[in-house]
Amino acid sequence: MSKSKIWLSSPHMGGTEFDYVQNAFDTNWIAPVGPHIKLFEDELSKKSRNYSVAALSSGTAAIHLALILLGISDGDEVLCSSFTFSASANPIVYQRAKPIFIDSEHDTWNICPDKLEEAIQSRLKVGNKPKAIIVVHLYGMPAKMNEITAVASKFGIPVIEDAAEGLGSTYFNEPLGTLSDIGIFSFNGNKIITTSSGGALISSNDDYIKKAKYLSTQARDDAPHYEHSNIGFNYRLSNICAAIGLGQLEVLDKRVKQRRSNYSFYKKVLSQSDKIQFLNEPDGFYSNRWLTTILLADYDSREKIRLALAEENIESRPLWKPMHLQPIFKDCLFFGDGICNELYKRGLCLPSGSNLNESDLNRTTKAILDNV
């Protein structure tokens, strides 16, 4: 008998999603327009310091529009955390701009403020002022925003927060996504809440959000016919997806608690071994613990555990492979000492879904402890 699959992070419906979807069907709003989109934006805004929100088709689309709003175009340099998913950096290339990657720091694994400043100084010396900074809150852990925004404002460079993994996390009590010029979220199937596929752009600047809505709906000017003075995109969230999102937002706080409780369980049980390290929250940092991550001594011990889990039909995954190590970005500049290279080699993401039960968690920790 094969053992049931334990997933890394699978969708977890709260129960009311289908009622919202039913209502969308009943009212025939089966389109990327409709009342559920506005309701979803309003609810998300309430959780995000009442900032303005544009609901979009993906987190990637949101990052792309954020770069367009900041005027990023041909040849511009954009600083980005190297330790992230490729979707943080790909939109830089969509704009024919150049990514420059920055290393992580040890406390949060996110972009290092010192290396960030070093990179800016170095580019200024050759007469190239970077046009934007993309900060990622990886695995839900807030980046050091005070230090980062201090560097950014010293040089007058706008900041985009990629909070795709960080919905529900807070930094000194303020929600992620609201700590810079523009924030983005993702509602992909594996994220802390999902609309199956979806994303959002948020900002305290209403003009950005108005423009994002315009660009995401094919940039139609105000006219009875179709009139276009800009290149637009088909990036708006579907009303059906927004309906799912309304149900999911109702359980966001619960999902954060459940994911944090997974982390606590893993930490408690796996601390029996002194070979497993966890990423603690610095004071004032509150992580949604989207994924629980561990560090092993080296690559081989990481792989041993990953393969042992796979043998038990348990999905785990190495930490993100840094962007400056990716074939497609091999020619890009990188500032740092390779802290993220090391994290990638030694780190593993454990099953972290809010729908895991005690037996799933016990199966996972047993397989780890037997192989560490």
Ligand X SMILES: *Cc1c(COP(=O)(O)O)cnc(C)c1O
Position 186 contacts ligand X (CB under 6 A): yes
Decide: helix, strand or coil at residue 60: helix
Q: Could you give the CA distance from residue 49 to residue 318 in angstroms, rounded to a whole number?
A: 34
Q: Which residues pair with 334 in a beta bridge?
A: 101
Position 322 contacts ligand X (CB under 6 A): no
Pairing mode of beta strands 334-335, 159-162: unpaired
Residue closer to ligand X, measured from CB, 111 or 309: 111
Kindly give the interhelix angle for 35-46 and 239-250, rounded to the nearest 10 degrees. 30
Q: Which of 60, 42, 151, 74 is nearest to 105 (CA)?
A: 151
Q: Could you give the CA distance from residue 124 to residue 120 in angstroms, rounded to a whole number?
A: 6
Residue closer to ligand X, measured from CB, 60 or 316: 60
Q: Could you give the CA distance from residue 152 to residue 134 in angstroms, rounded to a whole number?
A: 11
Side-chain half-sphere CA neighbours of 143 within 13 A: 36
Q: Hey, what are 85's tokens?
A: 């998913």
- Which range touches ligand X (CB under 6 A), out of 58-66, 113-121, 256-264, 339-347? 58-66
Position 9 contacts ligand X (CB under 6 A): no
Out of 9, 52, 82, 88, which residue is the one contacting ligand X (CB under 6 A)? 88
Residue closer to ligand X, measured from CB, 110 or 276: 110
Position 84 contacts ligand X (CB under 6 A): yes
Q: Which of 317, 341, 345 is nearest to 82 (CA)?
A: 341
Position 59 contacts ligand X (CB under 6 A): yes
Position 29 contacts ligand X (CB under 6 A): no
Out of 136, 157, 252, 294, which residue is the one contacting ligand X (CB under 6 A)? 136
Q: Nearest approach, Cβ of 90 to ligand X (angstroms)?
A: 9
Which residue sits closest to ligand X, CB atoms considered? 59
Judged by CB under 6 A, how many residues of this single chain contact ligand X?
14
Out of 20, 83, 85, 263, which residue is the one contacting ligand X (CB under 6 A)? 85
Q: Which of 9, 8, 5, 17 is nearest to 249 (CA)?
A: 17
First to last CA, the chain: 26
Position 167 contacts ligand X (CB under 6 A): no
Residue closer to ligand X, measured from CB, 136 or 305: 136
The DSSP string of 266-330 is HHHHHTTSTT-EE-PPPTTEE---SSEEEE-SSHHHHHHHHHHHHHTTB--EEPPPPGGGSGGGT
Position 91 contacts ligand X (CB under 6 A): no
Residue closer to ligand X, measured from CB, 58 or 149: 58
Position 315 contacts ligand X (CB under 6 A): no
Outline where DSSP puts E strands in 25-115.
52-56, 77-81, 98-102
Q: Nearest approach, Cβ of 285 to ligand X (angstroms)?
A: 17
Q: Name, in order, each residue with C-beta under 8 angstroms of 356's C-beta and a sequence gap of 6 or more.
A: 6, 262
Out of 48, 58, 108, 293, which residue is the one contacting ligand X (CB under 6 A)? 58
Position 162 contacts ligand X (CB under 6 A): yes
- Which range touches ligand X (CB under 6 A), out of 11-19, 66-74, 79-87, 124-132? 79-87
Q: Nearest approach, Cβ of 316 to ligand X (angstroms)?
A: 17
Q: Nearest approach, Cβ of 165 to ligand X (angstroms)?
A: 5
Position 199 contacts ligand X (CB under 6 A): yes
Q: Which of 134, 136, 129 is nearest to 110 (CA)?
A: 136
- Which range touches ligand X (CB under 6 A), out of 81-89, 213-221, 237-245, 261-269? 81-89
Residue closer to ligand X, measured from CB, 68 or 87: 87
Residues lying near ligand X in the complex (CB under 6 A): 58-60, 84-85, 87-88, 136, 162, 164-165, 186, 188, 199
